[in-house]
Amino acid sequence: MLVTIITPSFNQAHYLEQTILSVLNQTYKNIEYIIMDGGSNDGSLEIIKKYEDRLVYWQSKPDGGQVKAINKAFQMAKGDLVAFLNSDDILQPGAVDALLRAYDVNPDYTVYYGLCSTIDSEGKEISKPKGGNLHYDELLKKGMLPAIYQPACFFNVRKINRTYVLDENYPLAFDYELLLYLLKQGNFLFLYSHFASYRVHNASKSNALKREHYLDKLRVQEHYSKKYWLLWKYRRLKMEIAIKLGKF
């Protein structure tokens, strides 16, 4: 069984090596690892080259952004299961082994996901591993957290029935859109096993572009359900007021 892991990156040299090693040091070795660097100038290239003999493919050049880079890598991927691990997140030891034990017994799920902890810029744990079972309406209205974290997700390629994996119309909430789309199509399997750690730091997109990320998420919610239009309208109005008051 081949597993593909894709890491998009841009100027994340401070965290990149830890991310790479978290993949390369997995006990399961049949992993196709692809790194898509957007042309970093912070020393990332030297780190990638250090491990290039263990990578199936890597590039370092302008790529049109994270979503386009992942979509390009997905088209190249040959794995039966694919994960997207950002260059500041880490995969926990034994995560792929735990995934495949579940897949061998239950090969027909769309997404396999486990527990995910939160770490700070230096790798210190901020929150214990979290995760839980998902319901479509709950995911739609409440968002991903704390039930599911993208770094702890593995996607069954056979179940992704669209030519692109990520919708480029949502440059910041692309993972949320993908999960809503796939949960509407099929079943997810939650595994009570620590799969990944999500890093929170000042330079991360979720912090640096907090307002833009929230708006993108709201656009996804509005797209996927008109029946909650009043809720979406209330949230948009609430955010606009918070912006005017300087609280967002």
C-alpha span between 16 and 48 (Å, rounded): 8
Average pLDDT over residues 94-102: 98
Q: Cβ-count burial of 115 within 10 angstroms (0-12 exposed, 13-18 middle, 19+ buried)?
A: buried
pLDDT digits (tens, 9 = 90+) for 142-197: 999 999 999 999 999 999 999 899 999 999 999 999 999 999 999 999 999 999 99
Please tell me whether residues 159 and 220 are part of one structural domain: no
Q: Which residue has the higher pLDDT, 246 or 49?
A: 49
Please tell me whether residues 163 and 228 are part of one structural domain: no
Amino acid (1-letter code) at residue 42 = D
Residue 125, pLDDT score:
95
Question: Nearest to residue 175, comparing CAs of 146, 203, 207, 143?
Answer: 143
Please tell me whether residues 200 and 88 are part of one structural domain: yes
pLDDT at 52 over 90: yes
Q: pTM above the 0.85 mark?
A: yes
Average pLDDT over residues 96-110: 97
Please tell me whether residues 166 and 91 are part of one structural domain: yes
Q: Tell whether omega for the bond before 151 is within 30 degrees of 0, i.e. cis.
A: no
Please tell me whether residues 143 and 173 are part of one structural domain: yes
Query: Domain total for the chain?
Result: 2
Under 8 Å between Cβ of 188 and 108: no
Residue 243, pLDDT score:
81
Residue 239, pLDDT score:
85
Please tell me whether residues 215 and 149 are part of one structural domain: no
pLDDT digits (tens, 9 = 90+) for 12-25: 999 999 999 999 99
CB atoms inside a 10 Å sphere around CB 118: 17
Please tell me whether residues 157 and 226 are part of one structural domain: no
Please tell me whether residues 167 and 93 are part of one structural domain: yes
Please tell me whether residues 226 and 170 are part of one structural domain: no
Please tell me whether residues 26 and 109 are part of one structural domain: yes
The full 3-state SS of 77-113, as one line of letters, equals CCCCEEEECCCCCEECCCHHHHHHHHHHHCCCCCEEE
Please tell me whether residues 238 and 199 are part of one structural domain: no
Residue 247, pLDDT score:
78
Full domain range(s) for residue 245 = 209-248
Please tell me whether residues 129 and 234 are part of one structural domain: no
DSSP label of 61:
S
* Domain containing residue 66: CATH number: 3.90.550.10
